Amino acid sequence: MSDLRIRDVTEADLPAALAIRARSFGPLGAAGQAWWDGLAKEVLPGRMLAVVDANDTMLATGRALAFEQVWGGRHLRMGGVAGVYAEPSARGQGVASLLMRGLISRMVELGDVVSCLFPTAPELYRGVGYEVGGVQPRYSYAAHDVRALRSRSGGLRPRPARPEDAELIHSLARTHQQRHALSGPMLTSVEKWREYLEDAEQIHYVVDVEGGHRGFVSYALADEVLTVEEIVGESPEATAALWAVVGSGSSAAPTVRGYLDPRDPARLLLGSAPQVDVRENVWMLRVLDLPGAMAARGFSPHVTASVEIVLDDPVPANSGSWALTVESGTGRAVPAPREASDPAGASPAAYGRGEPTRLGPRGLAALWCGWTTSRLRLAGLATGGGPESDRALDAIFAGSPHLTEYF
């Protein structure tokens, strides 16, 4: 369909977009309308696109939310793709792929260096360069086991959080992600935290005691389940006190669920193993701006390596030969013409002499998220290179990222 084009969604287009959403996933209902109206304020203008035909009839729509995502303890601009809806009668004509290519171009224009999404149609997203990055894990514990952590709280008593605590909570979350060199979680803005703290349906507590005993927890109580959305503690006592205040609701809710880092300290503090109810939502990632992403990401300060890759990517600024160098916790990607004898900026510990490793955007995405090069080769996502360059790439991108927030 050569008459298709991409354009920005305007406020006047929202009813048509909502109608496509209803035909794709069912109606939102009365409660969902407020969510939809609030969402429009976040993405208009500029972060919601549509595919239209020659008559300007909307056939598909999607949005790219603006997030901060931590990688190696440093925060990157991430475009969160969501709400990709295609008119059922237009499916099979490439409208969703066209929309995704438009969203990728727009995110690049806006300065996002990586993008993530939760896939309903993995093959669609693989076709435009996304690959599985990790999971959003959820663990369940008996609430009485969580309540028992009060004995390890050192007498700390959390207090209900107020909207004026938004800056404190944001600062605690940022410092926690940096301190533990996390990869994957998003950082909620101060403004969004203020909204959450004003929401009567969510429960928030903070500990703010001098001497390193600070932290917060955000959770909800519904259907006899306590669901922890985010928890951060600066000390074992603060962490135990925050978990204990959640578990104190055990008489009303026998189960505590948490969207947790698989290596969250709670796994070590709690006396019990998680119950069988462990659920994982897969998410996918795409690198939008390789030099920008490498410069912004954190790396192990104990890794010094340089290796050359060739990237075949429909995003023009990404495609070509690159020397990836990591030293003193900082990374960079610089163009590396193939006629050069060595990777640009190679350090004494450089690997990867000879034929470079060749990747497409899916291979780069998987590598970025810690998939080893040997596994990429078995999946047909990496060619060229050799054992030494494989070891260098694995060392540079080693990790097991996770996302804790669904969008």
The reported pLDDT for the residue numbered 40 is 86
The reported pLDDT for the residue numbered 264 is 84
Span 258-270, pLDDT tens digits:
988 888 887 888 8
Residues 226, 228, 233, CA angle at the centre, nearest 5°? 130
Q: 210-213, long-range: CB within 8 Å, 24+ apart, which pairs?
A: 212/238, 213/154, 213/156, 213/237, 213/238
The reported pLDDT for the residue numbered 2 is 66
For 139, residues 6+ apart whose C-beta sits below 8 A from its C-beta are 257, 258, 260, 267, 274, 275, 278
Contact between residue 213 and residue 238 where contact means Cβ atoms under 8 Å apart: yes
* Token couple for 173: 């979350």
The reported pLDDT for the residue numbered 196 is 95
Span 73-118, pLDDT tens digits:
999 999 999 999 999 999 989 999 999 999 999 999 999 999 999 9
Q: How many CA atoms does the CB half-sphere of 167 hold within 13 Å?
A: 1
Q: State pTM to two decimals.
A: 0.91
For 171, residues 6+ apart whose C-beta sits below 8 A from its C-beta are none
**Cβ atoms within 10 A of the Cβ of 324, count?**
27
Contact between residue 352 and residue 306 where contact means Cβ atoms under 8 Å apart: yes
Kindly list the domain boundaries of the chain, sorted by start residue. 5-129, 137-281, 290-397
**Cβ atoms within 10 A of the Cβ of 401, count?**
23
Residues 63, 30, 57, CA angle at the centre, nearest 5°? 45
Domain 137-281 has CATH 3.40.630.30: yes
The CATH label, of 3.40.470.10, 3.60.110.10, 3.20.10.10, 3.30.1050.10, for the domain at 290-397 is: 3.30.1050.10
For 363, residues 6+ apart whose C-beta sits below 8 A from its C-beta are 131, 376, 381, 382
Q: 341-348, long-range: CB within 8 Å, 24+ apart, which pairs?
A: 343/306, 343/307, 343/308, 345/306, 346/306, 347/304, 347/305, 347/306, 348/304
Q: What CATH number has the domain spanning 5-129?
A: 3.40.630.30
Domains 5-129 and 137-281 share a fold: yes
Best CA proximity match to 181, nearest among 278, 301, 82:
301
Contact between residue 72 and residue 176 where contact means Cβ atoms under 8 Å apart: no
The reported pLDDT for the residue numbered 35 is 85
Best CA proximity match to 58, nearest among 103, 32, 19, 24:
19
What is the three-class DSSP state of 19? helix
Amino acid at 73: G
Q: How far apart are CA 324 and CA 341, in angstroms?
A: 15
Q: Chunk the chain into consecutive blocks of 10 residues (it has 407) and report each block's average pLDDT, rounded to whole numbers.
A: 88 94 88 84 94 96 97 98 95 95 98 97 97 92 94 95 98 96 96 94 94 94 95 95 96 92 84 68 96 98 97 97 97 81 42 78 98 97 96 96 92
Q: How many CA atoms does the CB half-sphere of 10 hold within 13 Å?
A: 4
Contact between residue 270 and residue 141 where contact means Cβ atoms under 8 Å apart: yes
